[in-house]
Structure formats: C-alpha cells, structure tokens
Amino acid sequence: MDERLQHQASTKLLSDGNWSHVILQAQKYSTTGRYFYPTDAAEEWIRRINAKNARAIMFPEWPRRGNKEEGQRIHQLHQSIAKAEPACVAPIGLAWEQALQHNPRLKLHSSDGNHAAFEGAFLTALVLYGTISAQDPADLGEISGIKLSRDTQAELRQAASATLRQHAPCANK
C-alpha cells in the first residue's frame, strides 16, 4: 500500500471515483512475526477513503499452508490498523482456518502453499460478500457451472458465515 500511495493513477482513481467500498490489500507483514512494517500508508488510504464517504475494507491475506498462527497474526495486524483509522477487517484468514479445521481435506491453497486454489478463492469471495453486503453467505444458494460440488459450496458458505458471526468485520463503523 505504501507504493500505491505515491502512485498517481491509483490516487486519481480513488479521488475521481464515486465509491461505496474500497478493498485494501497488500499491507506488508512479517511472515515469521519477528519484524514490524509501518502501517502509516494503510492508515492514510483509509483516511482518504473515509473522506470520500466510502467504506474501507482491509483484506488480511490467508496464511501459508501449515502455518496456523500466521492467519491470526495477520488478522490482528489489520485490526490494529482499523483501530487507528476506522475500517472493516474482512476475516479471510480466519475463515480459511475455520474451514480447514472443519475439513482438513479442503484444497484452499494452490500447489505452492501460498496462493489460493479455486476453493480458497471461493471462500475468500464469500467472506468479502458478507463483509460488503452485511448479508449471511449461508443464505446464498448453490452456484451452478463452477468446479465445486454442492456439498463443498455449502461447507464453504458455512465456514464464511460462522467466521463472520464470530468476527464482525465492521464493528467499528
């Protein structure tokens, strides 16, 4: 986010647009938790978004495969930013943890263990849907024509729903 703060096209896009929501992703963080990266750029983006009367939504990324504490640490980092400047925090990594805890056979990560596979992208989309709309993803019906079974879709909707109930993304707004 710090690089985009000085990127003229990005700042113009925000200032010229009539946005209701703006999703912020790419806050630098330490994968080991040993280092601290400044959050002032994220806070400035949120101030600018709030000044446009739009809702800022922080996108804390999911943890790497097998790194259980990373998701919570990333989420807490984004919560600290939202505490400094009012924003929503979509509990994406926490939903991934919830889904995998319920069913470890889910294939949320791609083969590199870092990026999202289709199931992970679908779960992320459900969490963002619930965060933006304040609607329960569990109430969505099956989506036909995608490469996820009815049961997997239902399982991911339930994980997103349960996580959003436990971790209200927009509690400070």
Q: What is the per-residue DSSP string for 99-146?
A: HHHH-TT---B-TTSSSB-HHHHHHHHHHHHHHHH---GGGS-PPTTS
Q: Which residues pair with 55 in a beta bridge?
A: 21
Sequence-distant (6+) residues with CB within 8 A of 155 are 99, 102, 103, 106
Nearest to 46 by CA among 67, 65, 23: 23
pLDDT at res. 86? 96
Residue 123, in any domain of the structure: yes
Can you give the residue range of the structural domain that contains 49? 2-166
Nearest to 56 by CA among 85, 91, 84, 92: 85
- 8's tokens: 């003229």
Residue 173, in any domain of the structure: no
Residue 171, in any domain of the structure: no
Residue 172, in any domain of the structure: no
pLDDT at res. 119? 98
Number of domains the chain contains: 1
Residue 155, in any domain of the structure: yes
Residue 9's CATH number? 3.40.50.1110
H/E element, 24: strand 21-25
Residue 67, in any domain of the structure: yes
* pTM of this structure: 0.94
Nearest to 60 by CA among 101, 88, 19: 88
pLDDT at res. 173? 46
**pLDDT category of residue 148 using cuts at 50, 70 and 90:** very high
- 82's tokens: 């939202």
Q: What is the pLDDT of residues 43-96, one digit of tens each?
A: 999 999 999 999 999 999 999 998 878 889 999 999 999 999 999 999 999 999
Residue 15, in any domain of the structure: yes
Residue 58, in any domain of the structure: yes
